[in-house]
Structure 1
Amino acid sequence: MKKRTLITAVQYVIFLGLGIFIIYRMFDQMSPQDKADMMHSIKQTRLWVLAPVLVLGFFSHFFRALRWKLLLKPLHIHPRTTNITLAVLLGYLVNLLLPRMGEVAKCTVLARYEHVPADKMVGTIVAERAFDVVCLILVTILAFVLQASVIGEYAANMFAQLASKKTLFFGVLTAIGFIILFLIFLVRRDKHSRIGQFILGMRDGIAAIFKLKERREFLVYTVCIWLLYWSQVVIGFWAMPGTDELSLLAALVVLIFGSIGMIVTPGGLGAYPALIAQILVFYNIDDADGKAFGWVSWLAQTGIVLILGIGSLILLPIYNRSNEHHHHAQDRVDTE
């Protein structure tokens, strides 16, 4: 347990350090006039236009919770919608502080309040994240095709750089192969051990996505999630004078690069605004306006996670306490 905590801490320090370095580089390369122009652009933000983003952000997480609930059905886990939604919101809050730990946190919270096994749920998280990666790749390809005239050269250079790193790519594939073989060895050695049961639980969770009867609902929820993400970027454009004339397709491209930024550093710190500012240059957006939009967008999304996450942290014990009292009262009535 201590070893895992140490590894998590080291990972967090590394990625947090990367985010801080990106911010330092961004501001170090800006002249005093550039900084003044960026702050002027930020101050022009129409905050009232951004208000719907909080509602859209909530519903994107709500549909994610409903989608996760579908994955839990084949495992005979049927959590209440309120609990699974609050658990998802809390998971995003934890991810701001400890990257990747939010997935563990929401499984732990749901297991506690719904009295269900956490290990099987972890497997569904792995399946869900793998599906999200596939969706991101498909949306990226779609955006690059539709916006080839704007970012075609940039995309070609990026893919060329990735293709040049074949050794790293095959090295990662080899490492993943060894990890899978090692996990199979551990399960066959003692499948009743704690590690064995955990791995089998993950296997069952991943298999759940192939056993889904409600595949249409799963896809509908997925489309809703991405449409809501996209809508938030569009509203962000409308909120700032420097970006309010950008198109829906430009918003799709920004969504992709913003998603990558969220993966690179904790909560997208530094990487999110830097990547967005870089891509907005191709849409003839002034550098100061691009950076301003990146920071305003990042702050808005981080604010949503904080508000909804802290709210869920407060509501979870209250909701479940009142629920338990209701069940106890009902039990007393039934026995009388």
Structure 2
Amino acid sequence: MSTILERKIAAICGAIIGDAAAMPMHWIYKQEKMDEVVDGKDEVEFRDPSANPFYILKTGKNSCYADQTYQVLLSLVSNKGLDIPALKQETVKMFGPGTEYDNPNRGTKDPPIEGRWLHKSLIDFLESYKSGSDEKGFDDKSADCYCRSIPVVVLYAGRPELLTKVREVVSMTQKTPLIIASALTAARILENLILNGRNPNILEDTIKTLQDPGRSDPDENDGKLAEYLQQVLDNKSTDHTAAANNFGKACYVPGNLQTALHSIVTYDNYATAIRATIKAGGCSASRSNLIGACIAVQCGLESIPETWWQRTERFLEVSKLARDLASISSKLR
């Protein structure tokens, strides 16, 4: 039986490694292209050379989704907690002018481009920050919301301020109400797994929480999220690729979240869950952050294949940061 500390470490490592595994096949939407790339193979992770139709990075690197997971993780560790002004400055340092994300190929060439692909929510944030605007969040419906939340859940799991902290981190770059509610629901799910371990009824339990009049941090969209989770349960026996087609392969929540949750409740093996969502196509990298976190928390760090660790470029750094964050969380007062 794993400890809460071990499960916190597993959440971070599971997310970052899962994303790296999916990145070379991220954003493949055409089924004929997916069939050609998969070619009947089971092991589709860490494909080399990349088959990513939008951006080309060295295999082992992370997408912009896990780069946000990593950047929030780094900020939480360096500041020993959530510091939004510091996080804003650090976001500019990682994604802004003069960084790898300041890619001259972006917007000037047809994809796939060489180098990093910067997400819309970050483009809007950087433009606002440069202008000195105090605008809070932007109209973006992508899955960045729950990827950014994962380290926050690890740090504040079991504490009354958790969902407030998640809301602060998400609303820094995204303000769409349903996006925030989706991130809060994903946070409730991951927190439950971190605190209690394996839970085959995690969606049923979360639905009950979302429908409880006395729940903590209620959101006006909790009822909608309960309905979305029930739809996942209703399709639990559906093949994962078919479920992704039903809920949505794209980056946009809630469909993206539903597809990720379908993998989480369908599979109890880390590699199998990630491979299934890669083969399902579309925005597999974002989904693999949440899938990787939730499956690793339930099955343990040992469930992540050793070769996957070795093929993830920043696995040593992330492993240390995950341990540092878990240690900080145990000292919060």
Shorter-chain TM band: under 0.3
TM-score normalised by the chain length of structure 2:
0.26
TM-score normalised by the chain length of structure 1:
0.26
Larger radius of gyration: 1
